[in-house]
Amino acid sequence: MKYTNSVEIALPLERVALLLADPAQLPKWLRGMVLHEPLRGIHGELGTTSRVVMQSGKRSIECIETITRREPADLHGIPKGTVVHFDREIVGAGMWSVVRDRLTAANPETTLWECESEYRFSGLLMRLMGLLMPSAFRKQSQQHMQDFTAFAEQGKDVRDTNK
């Protein structure tokens, strides 16, 4: 299953890229984030492998994330016309996924964030879930992007809405 979501963020490209890459900000916009700890490497850098734990209702989901692309490596002083790429591979029980984030400057004060997601499933239950609920995956990805936008533009923290 493959799909692409996008959102415009009313902030300059460099500010969006730095916020998206900052591990301290993840719990503020990534709904359900319990843990994101590097196992090897430095958080967010190319080749880093991290253990990720997400909570969805009463269900806990654990997976391993590997950063497969980060361009440019230095997000400070991004030259005009640069496209920022963050790609990662995510592996969990019965699931493999790759997420390709692309940030471009729509204009000097607005950033376009496009996120391409691809999922493959193994095991009967996971395959059925992928076949029967593809819109749920797209909807969750869009929700994460909207949560990030509200955080980046207005400082809204998703943990405040869960109380």
Tokens of 155: 């400082």
Tokens of 114: 């496009």
Per-residue pLDDT band at 135 (split at 50, 70, 90):
confident
pLDDT in tens, 86-126: 999 999 988 899 999 999 999 999 999 999 999 888 876 66
Residue 154 has a pLDDT of 96
Residue 163 has a pLDDT of 46
Residue 23 has a pLDDT of 87
pTM metric for this prediction? 0.88
pLDDT in tens, 42-78: 988 999 999 999 988 888 989 999 999 999 999 999 9
| Mean pLDDT computed over 136-159 | 93
Residue 44 has a pLDDT of 84
CA distance 107 to 139: 27
Whether the per-residue pLDDT at 131 is higher than 70: the answer is no
Which residue segments constitute the domains of the chain, with CATH numbers given? 2-30+75-157 (3.30.530.20)
Whether the per-residue pLDDT at 10 is higher than 80: the answer is yes
Residue 25 has a pLDDT of 94
Average pLDDT taken over every residue of the chain: 90
Residue 115, Cα to own-chain centre: how many angstroms?
8
Tokens of 76: 């400070």
